[in-house]
Homo-oligomer: A and B are copies of this chain.
Amino acid sequence: ERDKYESNDVAGVVTGLAWTQVGGDILFIESILSKGKGTLNITGNLGKVMKESATIALEYIKSNAESFGINPDIFGNYNVHIHVPEGATPKDGPSAGVTMLTSLISLFTQRKVKKNLAMTGEITLRGKVLPVGGIKEKILAAKRARITEIILCVENERDIKEIKAEYLSGLTFHYVNDMDEVIKLALTDEKVKNAKTL
Q: Which of A30-52 contact B (CB under 8 A)?
A: 30-35, 41, 43-45, 48-49, 52
Check if A122 sits within 8 Å of B41, measured CB to CB.
no
For A, the interface residue count at a CB cutoff of 8 angstroms equals 43
B residues in contact with A94, CB < 8 Å? 86-88
Which of these binds chain B: A54-62, A135-143, A160-168, A179-187? Answer: A54-62
Check if A48 sits within 8 Å of B49, measured CB to CB.
no
The reply to whether the CB of A23 lies closer than 8 angstroms to some CB of chain B is no
Chain A 52-76 per-residue mask, 1 if CB under 8 angstroms from chain B, else 0: 1101100110110000000010010
Question: Distance in Å from the Cβ of A148 to the closest Cβ of chain B?
Answer: 21
B residues in contact with A33, CB < 8 Å? 63
Chain A 10-29 per-residue mask, 1 if CB under 8 angstroms from chain B, else 0: 10110000000000000010
Check if B124 sits within 8 Å of A30, measured CB to CB.
yes
Main secondary structure of the interface of A (DSSP, over half): mixed
The reply to whether the CB of A126 lies closer than 8 angstroms to some CB of chain B is yes
The reply to whether the CB of A125 lies closer than 8 angstroms to some CB of chain B is yes
- A10 to B, closest residue via Cβ: B126
Known: A45-B48, A55-B41. A83 touches B124 (CB 8 A): yes
Interface residue from B43, B52, B79, B124 paired with A56 (Cβ < 8 Å): B43
- A11 to B, closest residue via Cβ: B126
Interface residue from B12, B63, B87, B128 paired with A126 (Cβ < 8 Å): B12
Question: Distance in Å from the Cβ of A181 to the closest Cβ of chain B?
Answer: 16
B residues in contact with A13, CB < 8 Å? 126
Check if A59 sits within 8 Å of B45, measured CB to CB.
no
List A residues at the B interface (Cβ < 8 Å): 10, 12-13, 28, 30-35, 41, 43-45, 48-49, 52-53, 55-56, 59-60, 62-63, 72, 75, 79, 81, 83, 85-88, 93-94, 122, 124-128, 130, 133
Those 4 A-B pairs whose CB atoms lie nearest each other, nearest first: A87-B94, A34-B62, A30-B125, A43-B52
